[in-house]
Amino acid sequence: MTGFFQSEFFHNYSRSASAIIGSALMLTFAVAVIAGPFLVAQNPYDIAALNLMDSYKPPVWLDGGDPQFPLGTDGQGRDVWASILYGARISVFIGLVAMIASCTIGTLLGLIAGFYGGIVDSVIMRIADIQLSFPSILIALFLMSAVGTGVDKVLIALTAVGWVVYARTVRGSTLSEIKKEYVQAAKVAGLPNTAIIRKHVLPNVLTPLIVIATIQVGTFVLIEASLSFLGVGVPITQPSLGLLIKNGFDVLFSGLWWTSVFPGVAIMMLVFGINLFGDFLRDELNPRLK
């Protein structure tokens, strides 16, 4: 571990304000997501714990605020702070799982396209081109209206959109990798194609994916929020941050701003943190910028 603290990576990290702020925000959300339910007294989705008498309480620093509900409550008397902690879990879960699925599928298809070339390559990359010509929200909307809503449907929609960027990146790096002599040498040594891909090509194309994957989590959180806001995202029983904004939006202009603004700020901080850290990684992992 001392090796890590003496590395150039850590050295640059400790001198980069955006990296520290970004990772601090990400860490905060990680704690909130893991420990969230233990930090609040009220489970906002336990109907028995709600009291309609508490509805639309303003944040604690405004007139009529209740110290029990630091960020106020919504129309059902739900604590907004607790809702955010629970909602962030769903948002982050969706972002992470969709990223992992996209990355796995995209990398695999990119490797196959780049390594084997020819007709396989053409088919995979033309499908990717078609995907890219649709806005991601449109694909998601089609999918959701066809198969209905649900966390799993959101994941499918995001993955269907997200794999393309990995496939393209990996295909490009694979093409330049397989021209190198060590891949030829592995062929000459009699290594089967699958082993060449796994041992010699894959490890050499992974670095740019780390940056893409980091930033994509943020993108996915935003897309999911948009979908939920449009009413085709997660179901009301599993509200994400996006759905919280939607729920509060109805009363936003009645002066009850806190029910949608605070979840909005939460999304902003989450995505901001991820992007700051992703930018740092991009500079750090790009040998040309060194």
Partner 1 sequence: MMATATDNTLLDVRDLRTYFHTFSGTVKAVNGVSFQIGKGEVMGLVGESGGGKSVVGFSILGLIDSPGQIMGGEILLNGEDLAQAGEERLRQIRGREISMVFQDPMTSLNPLHTVGQQMDEVLRLHTDLDADARHRACVEMLESVGISRAAERLSAYPHQFSGGMRQRVVIAIAMLARPRLIIADEPTTALDVTIQSQILKLMRRQIAEKGASMILITHDLAVVSEMADHITVLYCGKVVERGRTRDLIEAPAHPYTRGLIDSIPDPANPHARLKQIPGTVPDIRNLPKGCNFRDRCPRAQARCAEEEPELHPQNAAQWAACHYPLQPGDSA
Judge contact between 210 and 280, C-beta under 8 A.
no
Judge contact between 264 and 245, C-beta under 8 A.
yes
List residues binding partner 1 (CB under 8 A).
Answer: 118, 180-182, 184-192, 199-200, 203-204
Residue 105 C-beta: closest distance to partner 1, Å: 23
The tokens for 287 are 């040998």
Residue 204 C-beta: closest distance to partner 1, Å: 6
Residue 205 C-beta: closest distance to partner 1, Å: 11
Is 117 or 150 the residue whose CB approaches partner 1 more closely?
117
Q: Please, which residues have CB within 8 angstroms of residue 112's CB and are 6 or more apart in sequence?
A: 120, 124
Pairwise CA distance, residues 11 & 122, whole Å: 44
Instruction: Please tell me whether residue 12 adopts helix, strand or coil conformation.
Output: helix
Q: Compute, in degrees rounded to 10, the torsion defined by CA atoms 104, 31, 239, 21.
A: -80
Is 15 or 179 the residue whose CB approaches partner 1 more closely?
179
The end-to-end CA distance of the chain, in Å, is 24
Is 138 or 180 the residue whose CB approaches partner 1 more closely?
180
Residue 290 C-beta: closest distance to partner 1, Å: 15
Residue 188 C-beta: closest distance to partner 1, Å: 4
Is 28 or 184 the residue whose CB approaches partner 1 more closely?
184
Instruction: Please tell me whether residue 286 adopts helix, strand or coil conformation.
Output: coil
Is 185 or 265 the residue whose CB approaches partner 1 more closely?
185
Q: Tell me the torsion sign for CA atoms 265, 266, 272, 275.
A: negative
Q: Where are the beta strands (DSSP E) in 86-245?
A: none
Residue 38 C-beta: closest distance to partner 1, Å: 42
Residue 59 C-beta: closest distance to partner 1, Å: 53
Is 178 or 217 the residue whose CB approaches partner 1 more closely?
178
Of the candidates 125, 116, 124, 275, the residue with the CA atom closest to the CA atom of residue 211: 275
Is 80 or 183 the residue whose CB approaches partner 1 more closely?
183
Of the candidates 171, 162, 173, 152, the residue with the CA atom closest to the CA atom of residue 105: 162
